[in-house]
Amino acid sequence: MGNCLNSSTRVDNSLSTQNSSGRSNVATSKTSFSSVPSTLTCSTSSNFSAPSYSEKTASTLPTPRTEGEILSSSNLKAFTFSDLRNATRNFRPDSLIGEGGFGYVYKGWIDEQTFAPSRPGSGLVVAVKKLKPEGFQGHKEWLTEVNYLGQLHHPNLVKLIGYCSEGDTRLLVYEFMPKGSLENHLFRRGPEPLPWATRIKVAIGAAKGLSFLNDESQIIYRDVKASNILLDPDFNAKLSDFGLAKDGPTGDRTHVSTRVMGTHGYAAPEYIATGRLSAKADVYSFGVVLLELLTGRRALDKTKVGTEQNLVEWAKPYLGDKRKLYRIMDTRLEGKYSKKGAHELGILAQQCIGNDAKLRPRMSDVLAALEKLQDSKSSTLQPQDDQVRTSSIARRSPMRNPRSPLRPASCRRSPLPSYQRSHEH
C-alpha cells in the first residue's frame, strides 16, 4: 500500500445519506472477502457532483470530502488497535476466517453495548478485516468503504460497525455473517448443494441491495461477485466490500469516466473497453452471478477448456432455449429445480449480460422479475412433479405430437414483459 494518505486527502466518492436506524447482528466468512479486485485497464477520471439522497435521508449529512470529514461524520465506532487485538485474541491463527489480497479477516468478540473487547463466546461476534500495508486494497479503498458503509444502511448491505486507523494500520469491523459467502456454497464441494429455492432467495436479497444502491442512491457498487455476497443464518444475502463503490452520474450524464477496476469475468465489456461506468455495469455483473446460480460454475475457470473457461461465452447459446438449458444447469441439483423457473431465470440473466448496456434492465426491474418468479408456481413446483411431466413428454412419439425445434424468439416469454427502451439508463 505504501505511504498512507494524510487527512487532507480528497476522495471523489462522496455522498450524503440516511443515519443508522439501529444495529444489526454481526460479517464475514472464510474467504468471504476474498478475490481481490483485478485492475483491468485505465482511463482518466472525471469529476462529477455528488448526488442528493434527500428522499432516503432521515437527516442529511454534509457531503464529506476530506478524510477527517469522512471519519468524523461516519457514525462508526473508532476502535483502538489494542481493542481489536484483544477482541481477536491477538489475531491468532485459529481466529482467522478469511484471506485476500487486501489482508486477513479474523473472528472477534465485543460487548454489545460498549463495543469493548469481550471473552470468546460472549457478546457480539464480529469480523475484523486487517489490511496489509502493501495490500492491493489500499488506503483509498479503505476510506471509500468507511465513507459509504458508515452512512448507508439497508437490510441487504453488510453492516460496518467501526474502523481503526493508527499509523499505517487500517482495520474494519463488520457484523459477522455465519453462513459465509455465496462463493463458498456454490463452488466448494460440500455434502449438500445449495437448494434451488435458496438460490432464488439469495438472488433476491442481492438484487434488493443493488437496487437500493443503483436506483435509490445513485451509487455504483462496481464489485458484484459471488464472494462479495454474504449470507446470514437464514441465507438472507448482504453485499459486502465497498472499496470500489463510486457515485453514479448526475444530471444529463449517462456515465462516469474512471479507472477500470473490478474482477475478470464479472466486469461489463463496455466498461473494460472505454472506462465509462454506469449502473448497467452492475446489472451485467449481477447477470453473471445469476449464471453462477444456474450452472454452479465460476465466472472464470482456468481448469476448463476453450470457451468453457468463460461462463458468459459458454452459457449464452443455451439461455433462451428451454430444451437446451438443462445442458448447463448445475448437475449437483440432480434435477431438483423448477424447469420453468430455471428457464425464466436464464432469460433474465440473458437480458442482464446483453452487450448493449442501454438495453439491459434496471436493477429495480430485475428485482421485480425475481420476486415474481419466487411467487409464481414456476419456483414452487415440486421437482418430482416436474420430472414426472418431463419423463412423460419424453415417452411420447414425436410423430404423435410434432413440434418444430425452431421456435420463434417471439414465443419466448420474458420475465421482464414491461421493460422497454424507455428504461435506458
Q: Specify whether 241 is located in the same domain as 326.
A: yes
At 170 the pLDDT is: 93
- Domain count for the chain: 2
pLDDT digits (tens, 9 = 90+) for 185-204: 999 877 789 999 999 999 99
At 70 the pLDDT is: 85
Q: Burial of 322 by CB count in 10 Å (0-12 exposed, 13-18 middle, 19+ buried)?
A: middle
Quickly state the pLDDT bin for 69 (edges 50, 70, 90): confident
State yes or no: pLDDT of 6 exceeds 90.
no
Q: Specify whether 152 is located in the same domain as 188.
A: no
At 399 the pLDDT is: 38
CATH of the domain at 126: 3.30.200.20
In a domain, 76, yes or no: yes
pLDDT digits (tens, 9 = 90+) for 350-404: 999 999 999 999 999 999 999 999 987 555 544 434 443 433 333 343 333 443 3
In a domain, 63, yes or no: yes
Q: Specify whether 159 is located in the same domain as 193.
A: no
Provide the annotated active-site residues.
223
Q: Specify whether 207 is located in the same domain as 342.
A: yes
In a domain, 194, yes or no: yes
Q: How far apart are CA 65 and CA 144, in angstroms?
A: 11
pLDDT: which is higher, 361 or 65: 361
pLDDT digits (tens, 9 = 90+) for 301-353: 999 999 999 999 999 999 989 999 999 999 999 999 999 999 999 999 999 99
Quickly state the pLDDT bin for 258 (edges 50, 70, 90): confident
In a domain, 4, yes or no: no
In a domain, 344, yes or no: yes
Q: How far apart are CA 366 and CA 283, in angstroms?
A: 8
CATH of the domain at 206: 1.10.510.10
At 411 the pLDDT is: 41
Return the axis-axis angle of helices 363-375 and 196-211, rounded to nearest 10°. 150
In a domain, 152, yes or no: yes
State yes or no: pLDDT of 102 exceeds 90.
no
Q: Specify whether 188 is located in the same domain as 326.
A: yes
Report strand pairing: 237-239 vs 229-231.
Answer: antiparallel
pLDDT digits (tens, 9 = 90+) for 25-54: 334 444 444 333 343 533 333 332 333 333
- Domain interval for residue 322: 182-390
State yes or no: pLDDT of 269 exceeds 90.
yes
Q: From 133, 149, 175, give the residue that closes a domain.
A: 175
Q: From 153, 175, 197, give the residue that closes a domain.
A: 175
Q: Specify whether 136 is located in the same domain as 58.
A: yes
Q: Specify whether 187 is located in the same domain as 269.
A: yes
pLDDT digits (tens, 9 = 90+) for 112-151: 999 999 999 899 999 999 988 765 557 888 898 999 999 8
Q: How far apart are CA 288 and CA 265, in angstroms?
A: 8
Q: Specify whether 227 is located in the same domain as 312.
A: yes
Q: Record the pTM.
A: 0.76
Q: From 144, 175, 206, give the residue that closes a domain.
A: 175
Q: Which parts are annotated binding residues?
A: 130
Percent above pLDDT 70 for the chain: 72
At 190 the pLDDT is: 75
State yes or no: pLDDT of 420 exceeds 80.
no
- Looking at 193-244, which runs of residues are DSSP E strands? 219-220, 229-231, 237-239
At 252 the pLDDT is: 74
> CB-based contacts of 101: which residues, under 8 Å, 6+ apart?
36, 135, 136, 137
Q: Specify whether 117 is located in the same domain as 138.
A: yes
In a domain, 326, yes or no: yes
At 256 the pLDDT is: 84
At 65 the pLDDT is: 62
- Region 5-34: mean pLDDT is 38
State yes or no: pLDDT of 214 exceeds 70.
yes
At 260 the pLDDT is: 86
State yes or no: pLDDT of 87 exceeds 50.
yes
Quickly state the pLDDT bin for 259 (edges 50, 70, 90): confident
- The overall average pLDDT reported for the chain is 78
- Region 95-107: mean pLDDT is 86
Q: Specify whether 346 is located in the same domain as 273.
A: yes
State yes or no: pLDDT of 294 exceeds 50.
yes
Q: Specify whether 277 is located in the same domain as 324.
A: yes
In a domain, 20, yes or no: no
Q: How far apart are CA 57 and CA 42, in angstroms?
A: 34
Q: Specify whether 219 is located in the same domain as 160.
A: no
At 378 the pLDDT is: 56
